[in-house]
A and B are shown apart, each in its own frame.
Chain A
């Protein structure tokens, strides 16, 4: 299978600044004015899951918690609601990273879908306890979109690590 051939490639070490940059980009995406559009993926959750799976020593529960708090402040939701869900998400991803990476991309996406749905359900539970109204099952649609984006996200987020180590003058890139 093509993917397994690809996975034999030894990647360059990750740049922490690049990780931070992708997280900021994901936050930007989340803060775009989406209004009531259903099925908008939670990019920050996806990127956090990605880095927790691929770099569990660099991205952790604390960082996820911090990103969650920025989400809460930016969207003026209950402070701590996203932080709570993202911390669980990061924990799940770190607990499963050795397993997830054995699978092909779409099967990885299935694992990620379960993680994202669980974190969304947690957030829903928290809000119901705090006295919210049930927003309907379409609330979970965003998780499916996000999971569907997993292969694309894998390709894009690993691009800088796929650069050739020695730059060939005749063959740039």
Chain B
């Protein structure tokens, strides 16, 4: 005969059993998320729970900046206005030449039967906050799938490429900065058109031009722009500037360090560029291989 304690003493499974259960669930989720990215629907549910909290948490910051705007002095406004007018004047002349050049370019392309370049649709977004994760460099922007943001779109600021949309929620989207350790951007050197792939440097806020031959023609202060081959980034956007080159005869690759051109850690306003129309969709990575690198976002072609 076994004796059961009366039900009012019953406390459910032992803590160790519960711990085992929840730990295995957490590990399962992490493996699904990191290796296979099947956990997106679960993430959606919890992101929806977190969304009101995020908005409320951001409210005081928004209020602060709004009140700061309200108390801007007239002098400052006037000065800014003058500066903007001067800038506008400068830009207007550029714009006129740009229009002429664009028309000419279109005509030349048509002549050479090249595909006509379609100007991309862009969405202005604001960076809400930086993810509280010391392991990656990601920011959250205030536009999501409801505003037409899709994963894989390029994000730029007024100077250059900031990053790429990697995850989209209904009202928010997550942008992985080009300085993230797992972010790669196809680039080319402006000076000679040499193509390469630039890797994020992680915590340091720099970028590495990895797997470039030791004798490649790269010099300090070279500007790197997007090559546009991948169809994600429009060609010619500034990405980074080469700061340091270490060539070691023992290695077949040079170690090239760059700093990002865009203010990846400073700006609040960014522009989300839509994908170029007319390109075939990238090959779907429907069956991620078990041996593939963790968190493979999308195939990035060089």
Binding site for B on A (CB under 8 A): 24, 27-36, 40, 57, 60-62, 65, 68-81, 83-84, 87-88, 91, 94-95, 126-127, 130-133, 135-136, 139
Chain A residues with CB below 8 A from B143, complex form: none
Most buried by A among B34, B42, B45, B61: B34
Partner of A95, one of B15, B57, B174: B15
Please give me the residue from chain B that is nearest to A56 by CB atom.
B15
What residues of A have a CB within 8 angstroms of the CB of B30 in the complex?
78-81, 84, 126, 130
Q: List 19 A-B contacts (CB under 8 A).
A: A24-B53, A30-B132, A33-B57, A72-B46, A74-B50, A74-B54, A76-B138, A76-B174, A80-B28, A83-B25, A84-B23, A87-B23, A88-B19, A91-B15, A94-B15, A95-B15, A126-B30, A133-B181, A136-B203
Tell me if A80 and B26 are in contact (CB < 8 A): yes
Indicate if the CB atoms of A31 and B26 lie closer than 8 Å.
no
* Chain A nearest CB, measured from B241 CB (Å): 23
Contacts of B129 in A (CB 8 A): 31, 33-35
Q: Which 8 A-B pairs have the closest CB atoms?
A: A73-B46, A74-B50, A80-B29, A135-B134, A33-B129, A132-B135, A84-B26, A80-B30
Size band of the B side of the interface? 35 or more
- Max chain A C-beta neighbours (<10 A), residue from B34, B54, B132, B294: B132
Chain A interface main SS type: helix
Contacts of B211 in A (CB 8 A): none
**In the complex, which residues of chain A have a beta carbon less than 8 angstroms from the beta carbon of B294?**
130-131
Q: Write out, one digit per residue, whether chain B residues 44-57 have a CB within 8 A of any chain A CB (1) or not (0).
A: 01110110011011
